[in-house]
Structure 1
């Protein structure tokens, strides 16, 4: 089957660890001397290792935020929340929104990659099938009563 192709996700740039890792690796790889292909391979290996170590961090973060929001919601049903708890709840909701945007960005990019891999011809087939189905469902005339 061969090696899995390396895919870089744009959402990684929002992670400060990834940006600093790229800078560090490029500094260690060296200056202008040497082949660029070898340097990119080393960077790819470092990024792949970083991604394997941090792949579930986003999911865990979302789960932790949702659990804490749930706890605060239950508390708000029992009593009125204090100012610090209200601020924490607001901050958690903002963090959750940002984390969900990041997750959505990753999935959006993954879906485009699979679409590109299948090729444009598949899209043409899909659009033809949809148009054909729509034409088949269209009514040209209607008969009411005996006329």
Structure 2
């Protein structure tokens, strides 16, 4: 059963449900930070009945970090994809800048910059960066059960 599916080639929103797999796909506009809460809401809807308490909140937090990084540090469009299946949740944010992100030690004087990937690294079950012909994807995975 498909829900809200639009052509992936147009870059429009695509949400689908097939058997035991749920998918979310959103194109994020260049430097449009309104996309961050919109991405969180869409993911929250996707994960409404997923995982133990607290897992979807972690997923929302980590997704907002990846989306924010892509929009702030690349000054280009990005694409958010989330897939939920029996194996858990896989979220990736693809951008079109080849420079790889690096986790940084946060500034102890209270500067909040540099904490996003540290959060992803510490809270995700797995995460990484995959290069593409143009740009990269930064991804994370979470199981439905708390670790």
More helix by share: 1
What TM-score does the superposition give when structure 2 sets the normalisation length? 0.23
More strand by share: 2
Structure with the larger RCO, 1 or 2 (CA within 8 Å, 6+ apart): 1
What TM-score does the superposition give when structure 1 sets the normalisation length? 0.23
Larger Rg: 1
